[in-house]
Amino acid sequence: MKNEKYLGVEVSTYSMDEILLKLDNVILENKKTFIVAINPEKIMKAQDDNSLLELINSADLKIPDGSGVVLASRLSNGNIKSRVTGIDLMKNICIGASKKKYKIFLLGAKPEVARRASEKLKEEINDIQIVGVQDGYFKDEEKVINEINDSGANILFVALGSPMQEKWITKNMDRLNCNIFMGVGGSFDVICGDINRAPVWMQKCGSEWVYRLIKEPRRISRVKVLPMFILKTLSRRD
């Protein structure tokens, strides 16, 4: 795996196409892969939480989800040239899965949000096979594990927010028969239309976070770690 390290957190340098190819092989070879989306907020959180740092680094693919990570790589002559956002990767996995008839399970978000996200994906992607949907406010974990296994899903998207989703995946991955496990944060809310993504020009120039901040001002405490992340990264790259 090709990785760069920022403040002790590994980030994969693979492009979207390289990742999709790898994931296809994971299913064909019936292996398991855990994907985590990395942004400055997660990296800074991991500075005070060693178990979170280890958990993130234990993932098989750590995608450069945040524009701050791409900036840090550019400033330190790294090889990460563009973002691979969680939501774009999720949608591309869904498109690829529809062609190969791989089965998908959606776990997480508020009741109804996961179901509406599933309906939306079915509208947008021909032949997509979503074999199960479960909101993220369940009590009986065993029941959910059995439901996922009984569905025969190859791909599990977990939208419980971070780091809960990453902890949930690492705790249960061995007992689940899926091949691809990906934490997708608020992606179901975006897919079903409850939260809008920034216009494409903002996504392209790395300022999607500004849009999200305007729409959800409560995210200020999450965004304000960005300057500190860049400063710390420039003074230390490991």
Contact 105, 178 (CB under 8 A): yes
For residue 49, the Cα-to-chain-centroid distance in whole angstroms is: 20
CA 36: distance to chain centroid?
5
Distance, CA of 209 to CA of 225 (rounded, Å): 12
Q: Which of 19, 46, 159, 192 binds ligand UDP (CB under 6 A)?
A: 159
| Binder among 64, 78, 108, 132 for ligand UDP (CB under 6 A) | 108
Between 78 and 186, name the residue whose CB sits nearer to ligand UDP.
Answer: 186
Q: Judged by CB under 6 A, which of 61, 185, 191, 232 binds ligand UDP?
A: 185
Q: 168, 188, 209, 229: which one contacts ligand UDP (CB under 6 A)?
A: 188
Which of 33, 134, 162, 179 lies at the binding interface for ligand UDP (CB under 6 A)?
162
User: Cα–Cα distances in Å, from 63 out to 116, 121, 217?
Assistant: 26, 22, 25
Compare residues 122 and 219 and give the one whose CB is closer to ligand UDP: 219
* Residue 136 in contact with ligand UDP, rule: CB under 6 A: yes
Q: Is 84 in the site for ligand UDP (CB under 6 A)?
A: no
Burial readout 56-77 (b: 16 or more C-beta within 10 A, e: otherwise): beebbbbbbbbbbbbbbbeeee
- Note whether 138 binds ligand UDP by CB under 6 A: no
Nearer to ligand UDP, 27 or 44 (CB): 44
Using the rule CB under 6 A, is 110 a contact of ligand UDP?
A: yes
Q: Which residues contact 44 (CB under 8 A, 6 or more apart)?
A: 7, 225, 228, 229
Provide, rounded to whole angstroms, the least separation between the CB of residue 190 and ligand UDP: 9
For strand 129-134 and strand 33-38, is the pairing parallel, antiparallel, or unpaired? unpaired
Q: How many helices (DSSP H) and strands (DSSP E) are in the chain? A: 13, 8
Nearest CB to ligand UDP, comparing residues 10 and 189: 189
Binding site for ligand UDP (CB under 6 A): 108-110, 136-137, 159-162, 185-186, 188-189
